[in-house]
Amino acid sequence: MTVPRYTRLIQSLPASVPFVGPEEQERTRGAPFAARLGANENVFGPSPKAIAAMQAETLEIWKYGDPTSFDLRNALAAHMRVQPQNILVGEGIDGLLGYLVRLLISQGDAVVTSDGAYPTFNYHVTGFGGIIHKVPYNGDHEDPAALFAKAKEVEAKLVYLANPDNPMGTWHAGTVIAQALNELPEDCLLLLDEAYVEFAPEGTAAQVDVEDPRIIRMRTFSKAYGMAGARIGYAVGAEGLIRNFDKIRNHFGMNRMAQTGALAALNDQDWLAQTQAKVSQARDRISRIAGDNGLTILPSATNFVAVDCGADGDFARKVLAALVARGIFVRMPFVAPQDRCIRISCGRPEDLDLLAEALPLALAEARK
Amino acid sequence: MTVPRYTRLIQSLPASVPFVGPEEQERTRGAPFAARLGANENVFGPSPKAIAAMQAETLEIWKYGDPTSFDLRNALAAHMRVQPQNILVGEGIDGLLGYLVRLLISQGDAVVTSDGAYPTFNYHVTGFGGIIHKVPYNGDHEDPAALFAKAKEVEAKLVYLANPDNPMGTWHAGTVIAQALNELPEDCLLLLDEAYVEFAPEGTAAQVDVEDPRIIRMRTFSKAYGMAGARIGYAVGAEGLIRNFDKIRNHFGMNRMAQTGALAALNDQDWLAQTQAKVSQARDRISRIAGDNGLTILPSATNFVAVDCGADGDFARKVLAALVARGIFVRMPFVAPQDRCIRISCGRPEDLDLLAEALPLALAEARK
């Protein structure tokens, strides 16, 4: 007799985790990283006003946070030009992905995503027993037409599309996404992950009717707003869909400092503009560093850059290992042919100085 | 055609939420509460060292938190005299309850709890399709013998027991719990909720082998450590059970400030002792206020006191409404005969001064 008696689904799940954190890598290697450029964190950090707001809120931390995130949700609604009932605040996009999958997917239900797209989405789908169908990238871009055709073929309940994309940093114009929606099966929900959209050119966010029941979008304070450690994301969608999250979500799950900090961050769009400029400069610098080493980069609409190491995945994995060994935390795509690249987050000038030093050595070591 | 296509389970779930937060009540009544004594928050707050640690950590908030909560988990293991692999840190006990239920319960599985015990546990069980079987309180105490007998009768996979209990504040000696375990069915997991145990007399925590596969305990930084808004709790149990949470949990779900603050709070046991003393004084004061109004209290091992209003639930609900109308946020048990009581959290002297003023007026109004 085994106790406890896990569900059959839980017994079938692998023990693997989506990502190993840099702290664990640091403990394994016995030294801290010199540059933290692997998790697409925003090293430029949040608005000083957000920091001040969080520091002040520590004095109120004895209180639970507002389970409706009323103030933040209203501010986000104004920002997104929708109604507050179109917004759900949650524990990062990762948390919201879990809730959304739980709402739609039970054992055997079909889900479509790109091969090599965000692993944590797949983790949640598998965790609720869904069957993942993958389509390849098209020229290092997500391929809306192929995704939606596959969704039709397998009668998918849910399809995942990130715009801009992670891990490649590529993007489609919002009009391309909106146009492709015509091919989305009528009974399929599109999850549009816009985690990086604030870094993208004007017009990347698709203009869609928020009450269109076929689409939900997710955004975050982890990237452009520099608050990854606060765990705060939001979903924007039709009122009926947003309301259904209330059936299952952890109502008192939001950290109070995170709520307050996010509101202050949202209200400091000047800081956001400065961050966007710094990220743009960092992308250019990474491009120059790559070029200095005979490598090319993929154009990026995010706060990271995929650097094409010019050979196959095995070679890129060697380059990555050699960078990590030199204290440069980076990650890379999982799937060929995208795994010919390594993915470098936009660091400060001093972080990229370290990259510039380490990359030629890493390449030489990989070529040995 | 309905889109999105929710699971059958989701379609069957009620739209109700476990608790309405005080902020929503304040917006409805158009004024803030003068005393916040309804959610068993700890108004004495966290250690100043925890506050300082959280404030400093705001500068690191651009980084994701460590998904393994390594430092905190190690400190908790030492504190609990177990191994780090016996500890899981999560998004408050509420979040951990959801994960645990998901590990064990699928549609139709039997779960046992007390009638009137923690509603958020029931919310999660219902949310995963479990069937809840309830046993009544016995003299305003949870009744381990009845819970375990019911678990045997319905072949429950999971049984919930809080010690000390919420909402009554009553408790059993740890030896009573340990003794009762002999009657727990061999294939049933006991979830022992010890959210309030730091307020209880020595010996309230049951001494059980952490590797006993039939028991998991949960504790929190929300109550005695004064950090409800940080959302940080922990589970203590057999290594195999703890490891299984990794199959489904939101690995990067922990707020970074919360992790740092909890570690500092745990390391300041002097502050905890001061809090315990203040809470004890507040319990005595609530007892005197009740006595001054001809009411009696239930002995409490928590940071709240159930005050017996001396009549039925309808009367207690009137008293509660009259207190709320006077700006005193309190809550009360949901189920008869425990709903003859209102539940008052241990406030500061100035909070309890307001209670002392309002209670006679509320009683007079309820008696009209």
pLDDT of residue A18: 75
Query: Per the domain annotation, does B153 fall within a domain?
Result: yes
Check CB contact under 8 Å for A63 and B94. Answer: no
Of A3, A19, A103, which is closest to B187 when you measure between CB atoms? Answer: A3
Q: What is the spatial distance between Cα B136 and Cα B115, in angstroms, rounded to a whole number?
A: 5
- Residues contacting residue A179 through CB under 8 Å, at least 6 positions apart: none
- Residues of chain B in contact with residue A36, where contact means CB-CB under 8 angstroms, are 63
Pair B240, B289 in one domain: no
**pLDDT level of residue B19 (50, 70, 90 thresholds):** confident
Pair A64, A183 in one domain: yes
Q: What is the spatial distance between Cα B147 and Cα B144, in angstroms, rounded to a whole number?
A: 5
| H-assigned helices in chain B | 8-12, 22-29, 48-57, 70-80, 92-104, 119-127, 144-154, 174-180, 239-244, 256-266, 269-292, 313-325, 349-367
Say how many Å lie between the first and final Cα of chain B, rounded.
Answer: 54
Q: Is the pLDDT of residue A2 over 90?
A: no
Pair B180, B256 in one domain: yes
Check CB contact under 8 Å for A158 and B63. Answer: no
Cβ atoms < 10 Å from Cβ of B339: 20
Sign of torsion, CA B262 B268 B274 B280?
A: positive
Question: Among A322-326, B19-23, B155-159, where is mean pLDDT lowest?
Answer: B19-23
Of B4, B13, B104, which is closest to A5 when you measure between CB atoms? Answer: B104
Q: Is the pLDDT of residue A168 over 60?
A: yes
Query: Per the domain annotation, does B4 fall within a domain?
Result: no
Q: Are A111 and A158 in contact (CB under 8 A)?
A: yes
Per-position b or e across B242-267, b if 16+ CB within 10 A of its CB: bebbbbbbbbbbbbbbbbbbbbbbbe
Check CB contact under 8 Å for A45 and B61. Answer: yes
- Residues of chain A in contact with residue B24, where contact means CB-CB under 8 angstroms, are 66-68, 70
Pair B256, B304 in one domain: no
Pair B228, B310 in one domain: no
How is residue A302 written in tokens? 């995010």
Sign of torsion, CA A129 A135 A137 A141?
A: negative
Query: Per the domain annotation, does B3 fall within a domain?
Result: no
Q: What is the spatial distance between Cα A35 and Cα A354, in angstroms, rounded to a whole number?
A: 7
Pair B226, B293 in one domain: no
Of B3, B7, B250, which is closest to A187 when you measure between CB atoms? Answer: B3
Check CB contact under 8 Å for A42 and B62. Answer: yes
The predicted-structure confidence for A202-232, as pLDDT tens digits, reads as follows 999 999 999 999 999 999 999 999 999 999 9
The percent of residues above 90 in pLDDT, for chain A, comes to 97
Pair B165, B251 in one domain: yes
Site from A123, A223, A244, A257 to mutate, B interface, most B CB atoms within 10 angstroms: A257
DSSP for A111-154 reads EEEETTS-HHHHHHHHHTT-EEEEE--BTTB--HHHHHHHHHHH
Which of A243, A267, A291 represents a domain boundary (last residue)? A267
Q: Are B242 and B87 in contact (CB under 8 A)?
A: yes
Q: Averaged over B156-167, what is the pLDDT?
A: 98
Q: Is the pLDDT of residue A1 over 70?
A: no
For residue B90, give the H/E element and its range: strand B87-90
Query: Per the domain annotation, does B221 fall within a domain?
Result: yes
- Residues of chain B in contact with residue A226, where contact means CB-CB under 8 angstroms, are 61-62
Tell me what the pLDDT averaged over chain A comes to: 97
Q: Is the reported ipTM for this assembly greater than 0.85? A: yes
B256 touches chain A (CB under 8 A): yes
pLDDT of residue B322: 98
| CA Rg value for chain A | 21
Which of A267, A287, A309 represents a domain boundary (last residue)? A267
Q: Averaged over A273-293, what is the pLDDT?
A: 98
Check CB contact under 8 Å for A4 and B51. Answer: no
Q: Averaged over B15-34, what is the pLDDT?
A: 90
pLDDT of residue B1: 56
Query: Chain A: residue nearest B110 by CA?
Result: A5
Instruction: Give the phi and the psi of residue B70 in degrees, each rounded to 5.
Output: -55, -55
How is residue B265 written in tokens? 């709070």
- Residues of chain B in contact with residue A157, where contact means CB-CB under 8 angstroms, are 4-5
Identify the CATH number of the domain in which residue B350 sits.
Answer: 3.90.1150.10
Q: Is the pLDDT of residue B269 over 70?
A: yes
Query: Per the domain annotation, does A26 fall within a domain?
Result: yes
Q: Averaged over B145-157, what is the pLDDT?
A: 98
Count how many domains chain B has. 2
Query: Chain B: residue nearest A71 by CA?
Result: B23
Q: Is the pLDDT of residue A172 over 80?
A: yes
Calculate ∠ Cα A167-A171-A172, nearest 5°: 150
Is B25 buried (19+), middle (13-18) or exposed (0-12) by CB count in 10 A?
middle
A176 touches chain B (CB under 8 A): no
Q: Averaged over B5-26, what is the pLDDT?
A: 91
Strand stretches in chain A, DSSP E: 35-36, 87-90, 110-114, 131-135, 158-162, 189-193, 215-220, 233-237, 296-297, 304-308, 328-329, 341-345
Check CB contact under 8 Å for A103 and B241. Answer: no
B313 touches chain A (CB under 8 A): no
B53 touches chain A (CB under 8 A): no
Pair B36, B54 in one domain: no
Pair A197, A317 in one domain: no
The percent of residues above 70 in pLDDT, for chain A, comes to 100
Q: Averaged over A18-30, what is the pLDDT?
A: 91
Pair B189, B231 in one domain: yes
Q: Is B140 left (phi over 0), alpha (psi -120 to 50) or beta?
A: left
The predicted-structure confidence for B91-149, as pLDDT tens digits, reads as follows 999 999 999 999 999 999 999 999 999 999 999 999 999 999 999 999 999 999 999 99
Query: Per the domain annotation, does A242 fall within a domain?
Result: yes
Domain that holds residue A33: 20-45+270-367
Pair B306, B254 in one domain: no
